Structure 1
Amino acid sequence: MNKMRVLCTAVVLALGTMSASAQILIGQTAGMTGSVAASVNETIAGAQLVIDAANAQGGIGGEKIEVLRMDDAFDVKRASENARVLIEDKKVVALFMSRGTPHSQAIIPLLDKNDVALIGPSTGAMVLHKPVQKHVFNVRSTYQREAEKAVAHLLTIGVSRIAVVHVTDSFGQDALEGAMNGFNKAKATPAATVPADRDKPDYAGIVPKIAAANAQAVLWIGSGTAVVEGVKALRAAGSAAQVVTLSNNASSGFIKQLGSASGGVIVTQVFPNERSIGHPMVKEALALARAKGQNELSPAALEGFASAKVLVEALRRAGPKPTRAKVLAALESIRSLDLGGGLEVSYSPQDHSGIDFADLSIISDGKFKR
């Protein structure tokens, strides 16, 4: 009898081990706490809608997708170390949705060393598009296109005195280049160009420069709470300048943090209106969200949703027991993948850019409106 119990116990343990191993491990490092936590956690929620739906249908070849997430608090060094742990220790088959330009750049040497794909980094940095990074597969549009569109819009409606505040890192320099493209095409110049430290912006020094330039509008290139506190400082100083910022701040959390200062702030967008229920991708995402008791989507959630659709498609194409090499090959094979409503993603060895879409929204009554 004891032998039988031992045997049964061994079988149960073996089955438990098989069940635990029947998983496809994906790694993610992002600022789940810290200055960008609001938008990061909304992108995660949007991505999980797709992953949970795929797992509910049996996963990929009978294997469930599990995302191992590590918080880097939007710190570049922590992002790099997290990526190393995920790749070298946890043996993930791919990385997914890192957040931040310098953070994603810091991960690239690890991707190249270990031949691992990074799918859908949550940054629109041109440096991840050109020259082509072999292991980086972008989903969203570029910051340069967003910034150029924002400047062009302001100039078109007669706003000529535009100040640009930009964070002093690779993200800020990248988006600034896009803004300057907009000025140059219109043969215009910014009223002021003001650098800002990423972690500790000196609002007492920044805001007077905007005021001295008599700016009608401010394109504020930064992330999360750094932009929130900047807008509040600007309003506290009595400035009524139109504020424009980029899609990395397109989250419900950003609006909540702005509070009474949110009204009229323009935010560029890289996905369709999250309330356009006639749009196939939005309709699909909203149906999955409502099944979980969530009645609304945010632009950040849509970004996560779109990126996860690319992830799941790559895993399906990779076939049973996907490896790092199979996932890379599968990604390279994607041509005209319609995420819904004509939002297409195509990759090739010469091009790892994703969706080419940019739009503008304005915050009104606590919501993004277009």
Structure 2
Amino acid sequence: MKKLNRWFATFALTALSFGAQAQLLVGQTAGFTGPVGAGVKETTDGAKLYIEAVNAKGGVNGQKIELISLDDKFDPKQAGENARKLIEEQNVLALFLTRGTPHTEAILPHLDKHNVPLVGPSTGAMVLHLPVQKHVFNVRATYQREAEKAVAHLNSMGITRIAIVHADDSFGADGVAGAQKGLIAAKLQPSVLEKINRAKPDFGPITPKIVQTNTQAVIMVASGQAVVDGIKAFRAAGSAAQIVTLSNNASGGFIKSLGDNARGVIVTQVFPYERSIAFAFAMVKEAQEMAKAKGASDISPAMLEGFAAAKVLVEGLRRAGPKPTREKIQAALEGIRKLDLGGLEVSYSTEDHTGLDFADLSIIGTDGRFRR
């Protein structure tokens, strides 16, 4: 009887060990609360759409993916600490879908120290593209690409007095660099160029300048609530300037936070039209069908970003084999060539972790939705 009990104990311990190994642990740190909370939730929901569909079919190489998400409250220091915990204490195989430029920069030392790949950071910062960050695998296009396209679009409409208002951080500087490229190409100078504190923006000193220069359009390189507050201040002062912001604000939550000021705001996009039916990319159709199966009536651009990033993550895990390690996933990702995400291809190598180059423009319509 004692031998039988010992056998059962050994069997249970072995089963427990096997069960633990059968989970593919992936870590995420992002601002689930704070100024970007709505967008973070939507991006993560999009990723979960795909991950849960993969798990429902048995996972990757017979192992299910477990996403461990920590809230960094959109604080770079907390993002770095969360990354350390996920890597050193939770022993995740990879990090995934971080949010914010300075926040992702705070994570880089932990990636390099432990050879952990990061897939699909939700930021288009050029600092994550050039020079190549060994452990960062970008999926979405850069902010510079978006901002440059936005200026070109405004100039094509005959708009010449263009202001740039940006967060005083690496994200803001990156967006300004792209906008300046567009302005130089159009042989223009910004009518106003001002920075705002990322945590506590004050539009008091900036608003009169927007009005006095009779600015026709304002490109706002900042996160959710700061853009909302800026638009409110400009409108209250009588400015009717066209507002343009970048894809970090391409969420349904951002539209809701704008309230009555939403209509007509231009938001750049880095994925195809999420509500297209007749001419939809295969990835869009796939996401629409999965969302419908979950009872969701619609998907947002932010959800598409998470969905695409999840497809890259899953492919990396699949190629890493039945016993993946951080090193194997790194090598697997760098071996991806022309991976079809559903109408968009992504490739990586040891010299190129750029990802996609897709950029487009949308405008918020009277129905409170993005239109293209």
TM above 0.5, yes or no, is yes
Q: Give the equivalent residue in structure 2 for 1:291.
A: 293
Output one character per residue of 1:285-329: Cα deviation in whole Å (capped at 9) or x when no partner: 011111110110000000000000000000000001110000000
Q: Is the 8 A contact 2:211 2:238 kept in 1?
A: no
CA deviation after TM superposition for structure 1 residue 239, in Å: 1.3
Matched residues in 2 for 1:185 and 1:304: separation?
Answer: 33
Structure 2 CA distance for aligned equivalents of residues 257 and 62 of structure 1: 42
**2:60 is equivalent to residue 57 of structure 1:** no
Q: Is the 8 A contact 1:163 1:213 kept in 2?
A: no
Q: Which residue of 2 aligns with 1:210?
A: 210
Shift of 1:206: 2.0
* Matched residue, 2:70: 70
Aligned match of 1:340: 342
**How many residues are treated as equivalent by the alignment?**
369
Deviates more, 1:3-12 or 1:147-156: 3-12
Letter of the 2:315 counterpart = E
Normalising by structure 1, we get a TM-score of 0.97
Where 1:314 maps in the other structure, the secondary structure is helix
Contact 1:194 1:209 (8 Å CA) reproduced: no
Alpha carbon RMSD of aligned pairs, Å? 1.5
Separation in structure 2 between the aligned mates of residue 244 and residue 195 of structure 1, nearest angstrom: 16
Q: Any idea what the Cα deviations from partners look like across 1:92-139, whole Å, max 9, x if unmatched?
A: 111101100011111111111111111110000011000111111100
- C-alpha distance in structure 2 between counterparts of 1:16 and 1:115, whole Å: 27
Question: Which residue does the alignment assign to 1:361?
Answer: 362
- Classify the secondary structure of the residue corresponding to 2:205: helix
Q: Which residue of 2 aligns with 1:250?
A: 250
Cα distance in 1, alignment partners of residues 185 and 276 from structure 2:
32
Shift of 1:19: 2.3
* Cα distance, 1:204 vs structure 2: 1.4
Which of residues 303, 319, 323 in structure 2 aligns to 1:317?
Answer: 319
Alpha-carbon separation, structure 1, partners of 2:206 and 2:199: 14
Give % identity.
63
1:287 alignment partner AA: E
1 CA distance for matches of 2:109 and 2:8? Answer: 47
Matches of 2:306 and 2:282, distance apart in 1: 16
Alignment of 1:180-219 (within 5 A): 180-219=180-219
Q: How does 1:209-248 map to 2 (within 5 A)?
A: 209-248=209-248
Which whole-Å CA distance do the structure 2 matches of 1:10 and 1:332 have between them? 40
Residue type of the alignment partner of 2:334 = E
Secondary structure of the corresponding residue to residue 206 of structure 2 = helix
1:34-54 Cα shifts (integer Å, max 9, x gaps): 000100100000000111111
| Letter paired with 1:230 | G
**Does the aligned pair in 1 maintain the 2:144–2:175 contact within 8 Å?**
yes
Runs of at least 5 residues in structure 1 that lack an aligned partner in the other structure: none
Secondary structure of the 2:204 match is helix
Q: Write out the 4+ residue segments of structure 1 that deviate beyond 4 Å after TM superposition.
A: 1-14
SS in 2 for 1:225: helix
| Cα distance in 1 between the residues matched to 2:317 and 2:183 | 42
User: Structure 2: which amino acid aligns with 1:160?
Assistant: T
TM score, norm. by length of structure 2: 0.96
Moved more, 221-230 or 305-314: 221-230
The aligned runs of 1:140-151 (5 Å cut-off) are 140-151=140-151
- 1:178 maps to a residue whose letter is G
Alpha-carbon contact 1:271-1:303 (below 8 Å) kept: yes
CA distance in 2, matches of 1:132, 1:9: 49
- The unaligned stretches of length 5 or more in structure 2 are none
| Aligned residue in 2 for 1:27 | 27
Which of 330, 333, 337 lines up with 1:328 in the alignment? 330
Q: C-alpha distance in 2, partners of 1:304/1:338?
A: 16
Query: For residue 305 of structure 1, what is the amino acid of its counterpart?
Result: F
Aligned counterpart, 2:118: 118
The alpha carbon displacement at 1:11 in A equals 4.3
- Inter-partner Cα distance in structure 2 for 1:137 and 1:338: 16
Q: Aligned letter for 1:293?
A: G
Query: Which residue of 1 is the match for residue 305 of structure 2?
Result: 303
Which digits, 9 at most, give the CA deviation of each residue in 1:178-231, with x for residues without a partner? Answer: 000000011111101011110100121221221122101100110011111111
Counterpart for residue 90 of structure 1 = 90
Measured against aligned partners, the alpha-carbon deviations of 1:40-77 in whole angstroms (never above 9, x if no partner) come to 10000000011111111111121110111110010000
The one-letter amino acid paired with 1:350 is: E
Work out the CA distance in 2 between the residues paired with 1:41 and 1:2: 52
**What's the secondary structure of 1:203's corresponding residue?**
coil
